Structures are given as C-alpha cells and as structure tokens.
Structure 1
C-alpha cells in the first residue's frame, strides 16, 4: 500500500510524451454515488431480496437479474460492457485486487467532485455545503490553453457546481441545477417547462434534462472538453429505493451511449475523443443496510471505479494488474490526454493514469 501511494503522490516537475496523444477532445461523465459493486457484478441479490429496498422484485428480476454476474452487469450497463469495456479499460474491480478510491477523507459528493477537478483532496471542501472553491481546477486550466478558449463546458444536475467552479470568476460555460436550459430554441423552452413539472427525487433538476442540455450544446457549439455530472443514482440510493437506483443507472448508461453515438457522428469528435466515466464516491456494502449512505463513518464508501475509452487507450477491458488508483488522478489524466501538464497550484500532483493514454 505504501509503495503505491509513494509512486502516485510523488511530485512531477514535468513529464514528456513518447508521442503526441491522438486525443483532441475529452468527455468526462460522473455518475453520483454509483457503486463499483453494480458496475462489476450487476444487480445485488442481497438488496433485490429485501422488501425494504426493492418494491417490485419480479420486475427487477426480469429486467436485471441473471445467475451469471457477467450477464447481470451487461443487462444493467449494456454500453459500458458491450462498448467501453471492449474498446477501452475499466479500473476498480476490487474482486481482482485492482483498487480505485477517493483520496479525500470525507467520501461525499462535493469533496469527490472537487478532487476529480482539482487533482487533490482540498481540506476546505469537507462537506456538501455550498462553499465557493478557490482552488484551480483542470477545466479552467484547459480553457486557458491556446485553441481551447471558450471550448470547455460543464453540465451538472447538482447545485454544487456554481460554487465548485467559482462561477462568478469562471471563464468556463457552466449549466447546473436550476439554470435555464434555453439556447433560444422552442425545444429548450419546452424543456424548461418540463423541468418545472417533472417529478424528481430531489429539488435538483432531473438527469434527463441535464443530459438533453449537454447534448444540444454539443450539437450547437461543439466544445473540446465536456464535463457531464448526473446525480439521480445518489438521490434514489439515499431514499433506499433500489428499484429506481437500478433503473436510473440503466438510463444513465443509455444517455452516455447516445451521447457517444452523437459524438462519433460529428467530424470534430470522430475517433479523436476520449471518454472518461467515473463516480464521486462509493456507498456502504459490508453492512448491507449502509448501501443507502456514504461518508467518513462508512468505511467502504470511499471505493470508486473508472472507465476510459478513446484513440489513445488500449482496448484491454478490465484492468487486471494489481494496483491502486485515485479520483485525484483524473485531473492530470484529463490534461495529459490533450498534451498538457496540469499541476495543482498549492499541492503536489498525482501522476496521470498513464495506461489510459499510452498504448
């Protein structure tokens, strides 16, 4: 354990690329609180068979259950397993001693998103309170690079992102929670009305509308970096609603699939875009009743997973080498995919996950 941490936390004054990455665009998708257990093993029978958590067992069994875990996970995440796993890489399968974790001690949504974007565990972000982050983040960094000015966009269900991105001082386009979805079209005026009327598990807008907004923005403006954060898996898990947690995870997989198909139909993106998918924190599992929760008091809720696919990523499937990876590495990895060396202003940088973009 100490050996891995020493390697990952060691400072990197600079690093060079053996060859220029083929990636010209990056799409990062974060699925709030989606457990690695479902990603790698599919629907959890221990939760399906508890009436307190699953109200429609027969329907869930029919749609998501199979005795073979490989079939189960493919039923739940068809795009992730039929496309991403076959063409890219999957990290965090703890059954194979491949670990992915948060580096922050709080194991909550805001600290997790902050870690993904700043490249370190910011001690000032210790809860989900709307504290404005003053740390440099990788999206702002990329947006300052030549050719990327005004080409970075964030779409999020969570109301945390205006604070996380320090929107008052940000040059990045940020659309989150209750922000208007209208870009001047009748379709988006309709979406705004849908947002007002649609029932949802929290006061935040539905993931579907966040996805629609991101999709239409891609069509209209073709950003080079897109950060998409969806949140309903976490909300339904907190409600103890395993039925809807699974249905939402399945729907999120479909959204990512449709977004990827759109990207591959646009010349700017086709075969020049890397897709990164992850979550901001895990959930309880050792004590099954704790699957609804996360935080420093729940030991296994710091466990996460990472998936990658793109022109620089070897199609390896599940990464089976023993090792440990951290969400904080995604900041330097995102920059490195575009040929940039991102280093947090006040903290040592974690190395990128080099295997994602070095064939």
Structure 2
C-alpha cells in the first residue's frame, strides 16, 4: 500500500510539474509577445507539391490538363525546383519563408496533415477553426456548425470585440461560423458590402456584373473587399479564404490553377505591403498562410480531386511570419503537424488560450507562438 501511495504521489507531482511548465510557457509568451493583429489567408486546395516544388512537369505535359503548354513552361518552368517555386510564388518564398517559417515539405519528412477523414473543404475549414475534426461536418453540405470556433472566441475578448472580419469566396462560412449568433463580420460569396463609400459601392457593382469563372464569385473581388475593409475599418484579425485554386483544379485546368496561385501570391504581397504601411499593423502583425486540404498526386489524374478515397489529399502545408516567429525558413527536420492545431495557435499568437466549451481543441503549434 505504501509503495502504491508513493507511486501515486510521484505521478501527481509529475502532472503538477507539467501543468506548471505549460502555465509558465503561456505566461512568458503573453508577457513578451509583440503581435497585436493576426492575418490568416487560406488558398483552397493548393497542393504542397506546387508550393515546395513549383509547377509539375507531369501535369504540364498532359494536354487534358494544360491547354497552353508553351506559355505555362515559359512562365513557370525551370529545371531547378527552388527556382520553379519562386517563379510561382515569389512573395511566399522571398518574404514569408525568408522572414518566417514554412512547414509541410514531405521530401524532408516534415509533414502536415488534416485529422478529419473526409478531406473536403467544409471539414477542413471546420477543423482549422474549431481545433478538432467535427464528426457533424462530414461533407460540403451547408449545415450550421454547433462547435465553437476560434474567431468567435477571439471576437469576445477585450480589445477584439467587433474587430474580427472574415472575407471568403466560398458560401460555407456563414454556416461554419454561425453568422446569426457569432457576431462576427462575415462577407462571403454573393454577399454585398453594406457600406456607403464609393469604393464599396463600386465593388458591389463589379460583383453584380461579374461573369463568374467558377460557381462562386472571383477571388479578386473577395480580395479587394477585404483590402478596402482593412483600409476603412482596420480589423485586428482578418481571415481571408480564397477559392479559385480549388475550383480550377476541379475543372482539370492546370493552366489556370497555376495562374491563380501566382495571382494570389501577388494579392498576399500587396495586402501585406499595405498593412505594413499602416501604424496599427506595422511590426505588430502575424501572417499565417495555409490550405484546407490537399489533392491527389500518387495517381496524377487524381490531382483534380480530393476526399476520403484519395489518401494523399489530406496532406497540407503551413507558413507563418511575424514579430514573435523565429525566421527559420523552410523546415527540413522530421516532424508532424496537424491542421487542428491552427485554431489554438491563432488564439495563442494573440495571447489567448482557446478552450472551447463544446469540445477539446488540439494544442497549438509551439514553434509559432514563442521564439
């Protein structure tokens, strides 16, 4: 009995030591953090293969996927993978990676994955923002999520109330974020901008007249709406979800998939440059760039799709830079990260501990919350 009691006491001491260490870690970060603003940008269905290796020659050379091979090769091809990826995403590699960190290059055994088994858009965004694989979100059907999300949580904190804004190309966000109850500002898909300035009214008119290249509004309109909102209302948290990389991939249009990735890299660059010119954001903002799911690759024809039957479509990537993130560049060490960690990471970057009332969220990515 004495031995069992001693063992139990030692276990309790160990548990208390771990708890104290975690509390000390959180306290140290809260005291030292410089980040006051957070920007999260998601490129829907953007494969890690193009992010880390640039344009895929196997897809370029398949006429059913690449309509104008010569143009695509002239714009995006180089025999050197590092040069190829910089051609495709120059801001991502020359600024985000150079000043921050990028995870998910599986060639080095550095892996990032979704935990939901569905490998679809709604489950992916749900996992990212709630911190767990919600079994109630198993498809892209537009059902209202009952699980607390991190953006709603942040919007309830002092100094962040009414300062969290979501701009999305997809129509799923009002359901995922429960617009009726969350009190978040959400502008998604066909939503108009209920502001009187000439810039917002022009965007409304452009949206009304636009010829949608996919089933949703063009990413360009989502981007400009977010940019004008930043200029006018200066949110402390901006979540921007772009969708055309996924849409053009589903069409099997590799030309436009690459062109869209390049255009969105430029959008991120210009948004970041704008924000760094504004006193509220300069040197006080952390940027996260990621995706909601991957795409097929082992069977090349499966690059157009994703889902439970395409195992490698659960492979993602995560990048971040900001004043509290060590500039370590491309992660080349073996390691495993999960999409579900992003929710708690977003909160922790701002100094908050995301503990949802509805479920248990996965712990944050520690390397992103303390240098």
TM-score calculated relative to the size of structure 2:
0.92
* Equivalent residues of 1:49, 1:57 under 8 A apart: yes
Residue 230, structure 1, aligned to residue 242, structure 2: yes
- Cα 1:297–1:75 change in 2 (3 A) is same
Q: How does 1:309-324 map to 2 (within 5 A)?
A: 309-324=321-336
Q: What is residue 47 of structure 1 aligned with on the other side? A: 59
Q: Whole-Å Cα distance in 2 between the matches of residues 188 and 47 of structure 1?
A: 39
- Report whether the alignment pairs 1:276 with 2:288: yes
Alignment equivalent of 2:170, drawn from 141, 150, 158: 158
Question: 2:159, 2:78 → 1: CA distance?
Answer: 48
Note the C-alpha offset of 1:182: 4.7
**Secondary structure at the residue paired with 1:17?**
helix
Q: Which residue of 2 aligns with 1:196?
A: 208
Q: Aligned equivalents of 1:105 and 1:319: distance in 2? A: 26
State whether residues 314 and 357 of structure 1, in contact with CA within 8 Å, keep that contact through their aligned partners in structure 2.
no
What is aligned with 1:129? Answer: 141
More displaced 10-residue stretch of structure 1: 191-200 or 325-334 = 191-200
Residues in 2 aligned to 1:253 and 1:119: alpha-carbon distance in whole angstroms = 26
Match of 1:333 among 320, 345, 348: 345
Match of 1:297 in 2: 309
| Structure 2 counterpart of 1:116, from 107, 111, 128 | 128
Residue 179 of structure 1 deviates from its aligned partner by 0.5
Number of the residue aligned with 2:232: 220
Structure-2 separation of matches of 1:142 and 1:268: 18
Q: Are the aligned partners of 2:283 and 2:323 in contact in 1 as well (CA < 8 Å)?
A: yes
Query: Does the residue aligned with 1:28 lie in a helix, a strand or coil?
Result: strand
From 164, 168, 171, the equivalent of 2:183 is: 171
8 Å contact kept, 2:147–2:359 = no
Match of 2:98 in 1: 86
Structure 1 runs of 4+ with >6 Å offset: 11-14
- The alignment yields a C-alpha RMSD, in angstroms, of 1.4
**Partner in structure 2 of residue 18 of structure 1:** 28
Distance 2:193 2:202 in 1: 9
Q: Mark the CA change 1:289 to 1:194 in structure 2 (over 3 Å): closer, same or farther.
A: same
The residue number in structure 1 matching 2:13 is none
**Post-superposition offset of 1:197:** 2.5
**Is the 2:150–2:344 Cα contact (8 Å) retained in structure 1?**
yes
CA distance in 2, matches of 1:335, 1:50: 43
Deviation at 1:265, TM superposition (A): 0.5
Q: Which residue matches 1:4?
A: none
In 1: Cα distance, 2:37 partner to 2:88 partner: 28
What secondary structure, in the 3-state scheme, does the structure 1 residue paired with 2:207 have?
helix
CA drift at 1:203: 2.3
Residue 99 of structure 1 pairs with residue 111 of structure 2:
yes
CA distance in 1, matches of 2:115, 2:312: 13
Report if the CA contact (8 A) 2:53-2:85 is conserved. Answer: yes
Provide the rounded CA distance (Å) in 1 between the counterparts of 2:105 and 2:356.
28
Partner-residue secondary structure (3-state), 1:154: strand
Q: Which is helix-richer, 1 or 2?
A: 2
Q: Tell me the CA shift for residue 12 of structure 1.
A: 7.9
- Give the distance between the partners of 2:311 and 2:356, measured in 1 at CA: 28
Aligned residues: 349
Q: Distance in 1 between matches of 2:112 and 2:227?
A: 29
Alpha-carbon distance in structure 1 between the residues aligned to 2:152 and 2:167:
14
Aligned residue for 1:334, secondary structure, equals: helix
DSSP 3-state at the match of 1:259: helix
Q: CA deviation at 1:191?
A: 1.8
* Contact 2:130-2:361 at 8 Å conserved across structures: no
